[in-house]
Structure 1
Amino acid sequence: MSRKISVQLYSVREDLKKDYEAGIRKISDMGFTHVEPAGFPGYTAEKAAKLFKELNLESLTCHGNLPIGEDKNKIIEEAQLLGIKYIYTGCPPGYPDCFKSVDAIKALADTFNEAAEFASQYGIQVGNHNHTYEMLDIDGKPAYEYFLEATPETVLWEADIYWVMAGGRSIPEFIQRLGKRAVALHFKDGIVGATEQELEVQQSDSGLVAKEREFLPAGEGEVPLLEASEAAIDTEIAVVELDSYNGNMMEAIQKSYTYFTKNNIAKGNV
């Protein structure tokens, strides 16, 4: 299996807030070859770039803002510093309302197309990271279809398969629909329960956490991770992520790493 194994650093945000360097070293010691930054709590991008280089950690993907508006050059410069090739956003401008009507989705697609054209000058691609709103129907068609139809295949989509399932969609079918857009994929596990028409969220100190949802180490929940892996023929980077966890997060990340590597979802260093 040539797929790379990464971890979304938002998962370990509390550890990183306490000691960023120590947290990243733990991630490296587990065997991860890649990390997916989502900001640098108590740290800087410059220091993180040096630390990643020392530990031979690549950061090909990140979560952040699209390179548009007055900050677009700064966003690209930071991406270049870190060796980022794919910028994803899980909260595009106007989210979630931007996925609640056809006109709003088309306007959002225009924004992504603008960002993609600018980023392409630097060898960088942009993409969306889904939650459940993108899975809902609008006029009898999934919201994501309007977006995909209005953007070229070079505008990527980082599927979060937990939220695909929570949105009532078939994970394998959705991954297949994305095709070559699915360069990176979040293999998130947990208890989804009955799918909902709308995702209810609450604001906590740690950010957005879904109500009545439970996130678990890979292999301990009900998300069909192995089916997703089989369907993800165009996916190069498999990302571990837990939005939250009722236990030790670093231990959950370690368990997920072991599950990924033992089941050939991705290959690590250990």
Structure 2
Amino acid sequence: MEKMKAGVTGFMPKDVDYLEQLQKYAKLGYSYYENARYAFTQPDPKAVIDRVHDMGLKYLALGTTVHKGAYPDVKELVRQARIADVHMVGMYHSGATFWRFADRPDLPEYDEAMLEIENMEKLAVELGKEGIDFFFHNHDQEFRTTYNGVPLFWMIAAKAEHVKFEVDLGWVHYAGWDPAQLIRQLGDRVVILHVKDYTRGENCENKPTGKVIVPRYTTPGTGLVDLEACFHAGVDAGVKYAVIEQDMLYHLSTEESVRTAYAIMKETGYVE
């Protein structure tokens, strides 16, 4: 059995040194920090990436979007991917498929959602020619939003056959679905397990459209999601990465939560 490598994303408190924080995660045993976007906000991205590599960490992906008809510069994405030494590009924010968290209060029309899915597929094909996987990161609304009774998530899976998935375990569970079963259904289209967990109760985030109800997040492995079942399914599907995130902290500090999550994941026997 090939265990998944542990990664982290988020967990970047305000007013901390980015590289010093990554050094702490490397010392805890994490192998990856997911998104390389920070490096490309700096004057010398390659210098930042080299520093990260020297810590024993690597980046996993770059982020992009096809929101509101925008289409990324594929050549520039490929250039950045080569510099960062990543082989995946992810869509974390969209318009139609991300409507509940985006700058709009209304459900997208079917045609708008389908156009966005078409653009996802187009981008996946173009990046695939360069040896780069394009993945979609789910939240709960792709399962709650339906057209003619079909969840939007399954429309993405069916109509964008070259798109891979980063399955957010917490959001899948919060939407009322079984994330372990979803991983088994998607099989080798899953490239990352996004390890988010939550407990009973709710909270809210202030977005441009007002307050958005979200789960009461908790340290991965201490909530309602059966991580062991999800990891088992992930290993069976050939997933190589398990990346933790916790949007809001309550009782533990950043370092305490990251350390605890890593220990819990290792204890399942599926993550190292």
| TM-score, scaled relative to structure 1 | 0.84
Q: Is the 8 A contact 1:36 1:63 kept in 2?
A: no
Question: What residue in structure 1 maps to residue 52 of structure 2?
Answer: 52
**What is the RMSD of the two structures over their aligned residues, measured on CA atoms?**
2.8
Which of residues 167, 173, 182 is equivalent to 2:175?
167
| Letter in structure 2 aligned against 1:2 | K
Question: What residue in structure 2 maps to residue 143 of structure 1?
Answer: 152
Write the distance in 2 (CA, Å) between the matches of 1:52 and 1:41.
10
1:244 has 2:248 as partner: yes
The DSSP-based 3-state class of the residue aligned with 1:59 is: strand
| 1:110-155 per-position Cα deviation (integer Å, ceiling 9, x unaligned) | 1111211221232111111011110113322211111111011x31
| Cα gap change, 1:63 to 1:215, in 2 (>3 Å) | farther
Which of residues 113, 118, 141 is equivalent to 1:133?
141
Q: Is the 8 A contact 2:97 2:152 kept in 1?
A: no
Write the distance in 1 (CA, Å) between the matches of 2:182 and 2:109.
20
Quote the offset at 1:95 in angstroms. Answer: 4.5
1:180 has 2:188 as partner: yes
Quote the offset at 1:38 in angstroms. Answer: 5.7
Write the distance in 2 (CA, Å) between the matches of 1:181 and 1:265.
19
Write the distance in 2 (CA, Å) between the matches of 1:224 and 1:70.
36
Question: What residue in structure 2 maps to residue 213 of structure 1?
Answer: 215
Question: What residue in structure 2 maps to residue 5 of structure 1?
Answer: 6
Question: What residue in structure 1 maps to residue 103 of structure 2?
Answer: none
Write the distance in 2 (CA, Å) between the matches of 1:224 and 1:13.
26
Identity of aligned residues (%): 19
Write the distance in 2 (CA, Å) between the matches of 1:73 and 1:132.
31
Gaps of 5+ in 1: none
The DSSP-based 3-state class of the residue aligned with 1:13 is: coil
| Cα gap change, 1:21 to 1:168, in 2 (>3 Å) | same
Q: How does 1:32-181 map to 2 (within 5 A)?
A: 32-37=30-35, 39-40=37-38, 44=42, 45-65=45-65, 69=71, 71-97=73-99, 100-136=108-144, 137-152=146-161, 154-181=162-189
The DSSP-based 3-state class of the residue aligned with 2:221 is: coil
Write the distance in 1 (CA, Å) between the matches of 2:269 and 2:172.
22
Write the distance in 2 (CA, Å) between the matches of 1:147 and 1:252.
33
Quote the offset at 1:25 in angstroms. Answer: 0.5
The DSSP-based 3-state class of the residue aligned with 2:93 is: coil
Q: Is the 8 A contact 1:13 1:41 kept in 2?
A: no
Q: Which has the higher strand share?
A: 2
| 1:198-232 per-position Cα deviation (integer Å, ceiling 9, x unaligned) | x974239xxx9963522111221111111111222
39-48 or 70-79, which deviates more: 39-48
Q: Is the 8 A contact 1:20 1:42 kept in 2?
A: no
Q: Is the 8 A contact 1:102 1:146 kept in 2?
A: no
Question: How many pairs align?
Answer: 256
Question: What residue in structure 2 maps to residue 223 of structure 1?
Answer: 225
Question: What residue in structure 1 maps to residue 28 of structure 2?
Answer: 30
25-34 or 41-50, which deviates more: 41-50
Write the distance in 1 (CA, Å) between the matches of 2:38 and 2:124.
24
The DSSP-based 3-state class of the residue aligned with 1:36 is: strand
Q: Is the 8 A contact 1:105 1:147 kept in 2?
A: no
1:18 has 2:20 as partner: no
| Cα gap change, 1:63 to 1:92, in 2 (>3 Å) | same
Quote the offset at 1:7 in angstroms. Answer: 0.8
| Cα gap change, 1:159 to 1:210, in 2 (>3 Å) | farther
| Letter in structure 1 aligned against 2:79 | E
The DSSP-based 3-state class of the residue aligned with 2:136 is: strand
1:202 has 2:202 as partner: no
| 1:151-172 per-position Cα deviation (integer Å, ceiling 9, x unaligned) | 11x3101110111011111222
| TM-score, scaled relative to structure 2 | 0.83
